[in-house]
Amino acid sequence: MGKMIDLRLAVNSERTRKLLDWAPRARLGILRRIPFLVQNRKGFEAEWQRRNRAALKGAHSLDNLRIVTLLEQRLGEIADSLIGYVMAPQRNGRFVRLRAMGAERQRADILVLLRALVEAARTGEKALFRSCCQDLARRRRAEGLPPEELTAVLDALADQCVLSLADQDPSPRWSLGLYDHVTMTVQFGIDDVLDVQEEEPAERPAVSRPFAAARDSPS
- The predicted model scores a pTM of 0.64
Which pLDDT score is estimated for 14? 86
The pLDDT value recorded for residue 56 is: 58
Q: So what's the pLDDT on residue 48?
A: 76
Say if CB 156 and CB 147 are below 8 A apart: no
H or E element at residue 180: none
Quick one: pLDDT at residue 70?
95
Q: End-to-end distance of the chain based on CA atoms, in angstroms?
A: 80
Q: Which residues of 32-59 are buried (b: 16+ CB within 10 A; e: fewer)?
A: eeeeeeeeeeeeeeeeeeeeeeeebeee
Report the chain (219 residues): mean pLDDT per 10 consecutive residues: 71 86 83 84 78 60 86 95 94 90 93 96 91 94 92 95 92 90 94 87 49 46
Q: What pLDDT, on a 0 to 100 scale, did the predictor assign at position 74?
A: 95
Whole-number CA gyration radius for the chain: 25
Residue 172: alpha-carbon gap to chain centroid: 23
